[in-house]
Amino acid sequence: MRLWAVVALAAAPIGGCALVPQNRRAHFADPMMSLTPEPLDAARRQKLYDTREGAAGGNGATAGGGCGCQ
């Protein structure tokens, strides 16, 4: 029962229930609020972590490619 409640809550936005109307989303246009950082900055950080730690891959970034060290 509790699981169904969670699923229903999670599915509510997909069903068309907007929590925040478009005219109240001005803050999301600020580059500081971007959930994905500037791609080149993100890439150099991600590569640093991927090649110095053993936990690469999984989240959209691949675990292969380059330096043969993974």
Partner 1 sequence: MGAAVKARAASAVVVAFLAFCPRVRADGPSSPPPTPAMGDAQILSPIDNALHIESIMTRISGFDQFGHGWQAQGGPTPTAPGSERATILEPQAEIDATQGARLKHRIWVPVDIVSNASPHAIDVLSSASRHVESGSIDWAATYQASPVSDATILGGIHLENPFRSWQGGLAGSRAFADGDTVVSVDVLEVFDWFDRFDIHGTRHGRAERSSATASLGITQILTPTTIVNLNYGVTVQRGEMGNTWNSVPLATGERGPELLPDERVRHAVVARAAQFLPWNGALHVSHRFYADDWGLSAHSTEAELMQRISPFVYVGALYRFHTQTGVTFFTKLADPSAGLRTADSDLAPLDSQTVGGKVVVDVPAGPPIRTLHFEFGYDRYVRTNDLHINVVTCATGYRF
Which residues in this chain contact partner 1 in the complex, by CB under 8 A?
A: 13-22, 24-28, 30-35, 38-41, 43-45, 47-49, 51-70
The nearest distance, CB 69 to partner 1, in angstroms, is 5
Q: Do residues 51 and 67 lie in contact, with contact meaning Cβ atoms separated by under 8 Å?
A: yes
The nearest distance, CB 38 to partner 1, in angstroms, is 7
Spatial separation of the C-alpha atoms in residues 15 and 19, rounded to whole Å: 12
Nearer CB in complex with partner 1: 1/10: 10
Please report which residue ranges of the chain form alpha helices under DSSP H: 2-11, 39-52
